[in-house]
Amino acid sequence: MQATSSNSLPDAFEHLLKADIAPGIILEQLLPLVAEALQTDRCFLYLRNPVKEKGRIEFCYCRNPLVPNVKEPEWKNDTKDLPKEDPLFAAALQAKPSVYVEDVETSHPTVVNRNFEAKTFGHRALIHAHITENGELWGILQPAIFGSPRKWTLEDHQLIESLLPRMLSPVRAYMQAVQFK
């Protein structure tokens, strides 16, 4: 994909992010672009309402049909048990920088809970990309590789870090329309 001259996002990303379509369509169509650009097996988007402290995996694209779709049916409180079990999620809640995990199996336990990752997601390498604003977590973009480690390149980092701030507007617009019980 060719990047535009104004930033480091490929043209297809720019066209989608500038399209006059519903935020949910933008977010859903963004996942295949990310998965293709990074050549990952799966890409999902966890969305959350920071005021209600509820979230779920709202969108999931599986580039590899053999990996599980992890879209979740229910919005759930994500600030009680999850941060204790998942250090990646705890880092996201603290609005820390995104985490590029090259190998779940060899990562330090303060960064990755191997058992949690294996049981919940099954991936081997991932990017835990935090969509934040003013210290509040709105979402997590998570491209992942199954079966083998992955060295994330400078270009991979640049793509994700350029994309995250551009995702905030459609994420917020989408979440403002969600009704919580």
pLDDT digits (tens, 9 = 90+) for 1-23: 444 334 579 999 999 999 999 99
Q: Provide the total of helices (H) and of strands (E) in the chain, helices listed first.
A: 6, 6
CB 168 within 8 A of CB 131: yes
User: Has residue 132 got a pLDDT over 60?
Assistant: yes
Pick the CATH number of 11-176 from 3.40.50.12780, 3.90.1170.30, 3.30.300.210, 3.30.450.40: 3.30.450.40
Q: Name the residue ranges covered by the structural domains of the chain.
A: 11-176
The larger pLDDT score, comparing residue 154 to residue 2, is at 154
pLDDT higher than 50, residue 75: yes
0.85 exceeded by pTM: yes
